[in-house]
Amino acid sequence: MIITSRKVRAIGAIVLTTALVGTLAACSSSGSSSSSASGKYTFWDPYPQYDASSAWSKLVVACGTKAGVTIKRTGYDTTALTNKSLLAGQQANSADMLLVDNPVVSTLADAGILTSTDENKLDVSAIDKNIIAAGEIGGKTYGVPIGANTLALYYNKTILKAANVDVASITNWATLTDALAKVTSAGKKGITFSGINTEEGSFQFLPWFWGSGAKLTKLDSPQAVSALTLWTDWLKKGYAPNSVIQNTQTTSWQEFATGEFAFGENGTWNLGNAKKAGFDFGILTVPAENGGPAAAPTGGEFLTIPVQKDAARYAVTKKIVACLTSTANFVTTDNTLSYIAPTAAAQQAQVAGNADLKPWVDAVNAAKGRTSDNLGTKYPKISEQLWTAVQTALSGSQTPAAALAAAQTAAAAATK
């Protein structure tokens, strides 16, 4: 994920449990190139940390076994996977299945490398519309999301109680800012987030950007200026530390984990770390400016089927994908990857097994894909200008209005 790269999802340290495999038979796998042999299928994913002995790899192989074939699975870094997939597609030598970060779907689809669900007949009818939207380009859908994560506000219950802040009163930007004022007046620290000049910075700013009513096609709208002004005002008033300018999501989490901050914007993937932090915490959906939940961006991967010279291969590939995206495997896979499942049935099963996931299900249900609104391959170009504007404004080099005006001019030129 971020989260256009794997950084945002930050699951590298997570160890998959053998529960992921369920009752499927499993065996090890190796290899990285596709094979023309009918009994061998190739699968590339962005999980190089999981070798053939991992539960994830065993699940992939087991689904191949169930379909009557052998799968050769190879994990690559997200950037390497994207580049390799583009090259292989151009050479008409794609892997049978690709699991790619959701913003990459539009890149591969635009290059003509992926089959659409109309073509491969994958059933995505049960997938939540806001999650599947990240794989929709030009009216067609490419692939099946295996799960999603997003952002919310972790909060320190002890700090809020000492500052006489009732978290239930925080329903919009004004009440959140009031809470930050009370916390800092009580001698504690307010909020930490990631404003770094990378995709992580855009990812973290988007809930506030979208929560203002702004659209990525108009970076300098009054709504967008309002969102960036919120962040810059927090710095000026001391409600957020200057470190947010260079914070990654990891370093921002480390700040919150000290127990000194009332709030920390971060993702689903840190739920396990929060339980180890040593203080009582809660989770609050990022509020929109005028109330209600703000749309936060979704992270997570899509399981896609690339174009093959031999169309006869698709039938078996479809069986493998259906196995990997069954409700049972959604639940076990997403629990261990710290994802929220992309279907209502699997989400209900997750919450039944772990009530702590309910706030995250709510957050994911309110979220949207970064490439949604049919932005497709334009998104990375727009995002770069957005994070640049955030950096410029937070550092005090330009006002939010001036920074966003420059960003809009650059984005418009880059996306012509």
The CATH number of whichever domain residue 331 belongs to comes to 3.40.190.10
d(Cα 172, Cα 69) in Å, to the nearest integer? 53
* Residues 142 and 156 grouped into a single domain: no
**pLDDT block averages, 10 residues each, the chain of length 416:** 35 34 33 53 93 88 95 92 95 96 93 96 94 92 95 98 98 98 98 95 97 98 98 98 96 97 96 93 96 95 96 95 93 85 96 93 94 90 97 98 98 96
Sign of CA dihedral 123, 327, 313, 142: positive
- Same structural domain for residues 319 and 271? no
Distance CA 192, CA 182 (A): 16
- Supply angle C-alpha 290, 171, 241, rounded to 5: 95
Contact present, 253 and 154 (Cβ < 8 Å): no
Per the domain annotation, does 1 fall within a domain?
no
Number of domains the chain is built from: 2
Same domain for 314 and 217: no
317 plus 287 within the same structural domain? no
Q: Are residues 258 and 407 in the same domain?
A: yes
The amino acid sitting at 174 is A
Do both 221 and 263 map to the same domain? yes
Question: Residue 338: what pLDDT?
Answer: 84
Residues 100 and 39 in one domain: yes
What confidence score (pLDDT) does residue 4 get? 32
Domain span holding position 270: 151-296+375-414
143 shares its domain with 155? no
User: What pLDDT, on a 0 to 100 scale, did the predictor assign at position 337?
Assistant: 77
pLDDT at 38: 64
Q: Identify the CA nearest to 330 among candidates 373, 300, 366.
A: 300
With contact defined as beta carbons under 8 Å apart, do 299 and 2 qualify? Answer: yes
Question: Are residues 50 and 191 located together in one domain of the fold?
Answer: no
How far is residue 79's CA from residue 107's CA, in Å, rounded to a whole number?
Answer: 12
202 shares a domain with 264 = yes
Spatial CB neighbours of 391, under 8 Å, sequence gap ≥ 6: 195, 196, 197, 201, 245
pTM value is 0.84
Tell whether 398 and 360 lie within a shared domain.
Answer: no
* Residues 42 and 110 reside in one and the same domain: yes
- Say what the pLDDT of residue 412 is: 97
pLDDT at 123: 93
| Alpha-carbon span 174 to 178, nearest angstrom | 6
